[in-house]
Structure 1
Amino acid sequence: MSEDARQREQAAAGLEQLSSLVRAQSWRNEGTPSLPPTQAAVLRMLAGSDEGLRARQIADRLGVSAASLSDSLKAMEAKEWIARSPDPDDKRASVIRLKRSGRALATRLNHPARGMVSLLQGLDTDDVGALLRVTQLLVGQAQQQGLATGLRTCMGCEFFKPFGSGDAARPHYCGFIRAAFGDAELRTDCADQSPADDELLAANRERFRLRLPP
C-alpha cells in the first residue's frame, strides 16, 4: 500500500470512529429522550428552517430514501415533535415544521456541551477553519457521488467566490452579504444559500481546492 493510500485509510478510519461516537452519544444524552440518529438529525435540520421543509428535502440532505425517512417522521409526529401542513406550492406535498416540544428538544440537542460540538471546544480558530474547509470539500465529494443533495454549503452557493476578496486574512467573498471572510466563517448549512448552477459549482470547486490564492 502506498503512503498516500495509507494516509487516506487512516483519515477515513478517524472519521468513522468520530461518526460512531456521535451516533452512540445521540442515544444517551442526559435530559433528552433516547433518539435514533436520524430523528436527532431531522430535529436539528428543522430547527434551522423557520419555513419548514418537505420530506423529500430532508431525505436528500440526509442522503436517505424517502421510505426510510417516513418511519422516522411518523414516530416523531406521534410524539408531537413535528407537524405537517399542506404545501401551498404543491397540493401533493406537505411541509414539516417543529412543534413547540420539538423545538425545545432541538435546542437541547444543539447545546454546546452535546454531540460533535462538545468535541470542538478544544480547537482554536485556525483548526476550526481547517475543519470547515475540509468539510466543504467532503460535502462536495458526497454530492458528486450522488450520496446527498440539497446541502446548503458555501461552496455550492452562487454567491460564493473562493479566493475572491484579495485579502489574505479573509480570502473568500460572499456576494449575498457583500463581505470578505475566512475559512473559520465558512458555512455548512446556510439559510441564505442559493444553489449554484453546475458550471459555477465546478469552477468554484476547482478554485476552492487551491492551496494558495490564484
Structure 2
Amino acid sequence: MTAIDRQREQAAAGLEQLVHLARAQAWRGGDGPALPPTQAGVLRLLSGAEPEQRAQRLVQRLGVSAASLSDTLKSMEARGWIRRRPDPADGRASLVRLDRQGRAVAARLAGAGRGMAGLVQGLHNADVAALLRVTQLLVAQAQEQGWATGLRTCLGCRYFRPFASGDAQRPHVCEYIGQPFGDLELRVECAEQQPADPEDFAANLERFRRPVPP
C-alpha cells in the first residue's frame, strides 16, 4: 500500500465517522431516539423543493430497495407523517407528500445546528467552498458507482459550465440564470437542475476535477 492509499483510507475513515455521528444527532428530537436513516431521508427530500415525489424516485435518490422504502412509508403513514395518492400519469405508481405532522417533524428536526449543519457552521467561507467542491466530486463518484440516481448537483446539471467565465473569483457559469459563480455558490440540491447528457457530464467532470483550472 502506498502512502497516498493510506491517506485515502484515513479520509474515508474520517468521513464515515462523521456520517455516523451526524446521523445519530441530526434527527434526534429532545430525549427521544434518532429516526431510522430512511425515514430521515424521506423527511428531508419531501421538505425540499419537490414536496411531492413518486415512491420510485425516492428509492433512486435514497439508494434503498423498493421493499425497504415500502416498509418505511407504511410506518410513516401510520404515524400521520405522509400521505400517498395514485399518480394520475401512471396508475401503477403512487405520489408521496408530507402531511401536516410530517412537515412539523421535518421543520423541528432539520433546524440549523443539527447534524452536519452544526459542524459546517464552524467553518470559514473558504473551507465551505472547498467542501462544496469536494462534495460535488463525491456525489459524482457515488452516482457512477450506482449508489443512487437523480441527485441534483451542479456538476450533474446540463446548465453547468465549469471554469467557463474567465473570472478567477467566479469561474463557473450557470446557463439557466446566465450568471457566473464561485465554489461557495455550488449547490448539492438544486430545484432547477436538469440532468446532463452522459457525454456532457463526463466532459464537465474531467474539467471540474483538474487540480489546476484550465
Specify the code of the residue in structure 1 equivalent to 2:12. Answer: A
Q: Contact conserved, 1:26 with 1:37, CA < 8 A, in 2?
A: no
> Which consecutive unaligned segments of at least 5 residues does structure 2 have?
none
Query: Which residue of structure 2 aligns with residue 191 of structure 1?
Result: 191
Question: 1:51 deviation in Å?
Answer: 4.5
Specify the code of the residue in structure 1 equivalent to 2:139. Answer: V
Query: Which residue of structure 2 aligns with residue 24 of structure 1?
Result: 24
Residues 1:132 and 2:132 aligned together: yes
- Cα 1:103–1:27, aligned 2, differ >3 Å: closer, same or farther? closer
Q: How many residues align?
A: 214
* TM-score normalised by L of structure 2: 0.95
Between the aligned partners of 1:121 and 1:61, the Cα distance in structure 2 is 26
Query: Which residue of structure 2 aligns with residue 77 of structure 1?
Result: 77
Query: Which residue of structure 2 aligns with residue 3 of structure 1?
Result: 3
Moved more, 83-92 or 199-208: 83-92
Query: Which residue of structure 2 aligns with residue 56 of structure 1?
Result: 56
Deviation track 1:93-124 (CA, whole Å, cap 9, x = no partner) reads 11101111111111122211211100111101
Residues 1:112 and 2:112 aligned together: yes
Query: Which residue of structure 1 aligns with residue 66 of structure 2?
Result: 66
Between the aligned partners of 1:101 and 1:201, the Cα distance in structure 2 is 39
Q: How big is the alpha-carbon RMSD for the aligned residues of Structure 1 and Structure 2?
A: 1.4
Moved more, 204-213 or 188-197: 204-213
Identity %: 64
Between the aligned partners of 2:132 and 2:71, the Cα distance in structure 1 is 32
Aligned pairs (5 A) from 1:117-196: 117-196=117-196
Between the aligned partners of 1:32 and 1:130, the Cα distance in structure 2 is 35
The 3-state SS of whatever aligns with 1:48 is coil
- Cα 1:48–1:159, aligned 2, differ >3 Å: closer, same or farther? same
The 3-state SS of whatever aligns with 2:97 is strand
Q: Contact conserved, 2:151 with 2:189, CA < 8 A, in 1?
A: yes
Between the aligned partners of 1:26 and 1:120, the Cα distance in structure 2 is 13
Deviation track 1:53-82 (CA, whole Å, cap 9, x = no partner) reads 111111111111111111111111111111
Q: Contact conserved, 1:130 with 1:183, CA < 8 A, in 2?
A: yes
* TM-score normalised by L of structure 1: 0.95
- Cα 1:126–1:93, aligned 2, differ >3 Å: closer, same or farther? same
Between the aligned partners of 1:25 and 1:163, the Cα distance in structure 2 is 37
> Which consecutive unaligned segments of at least 5 residues does structure 1 have?
none
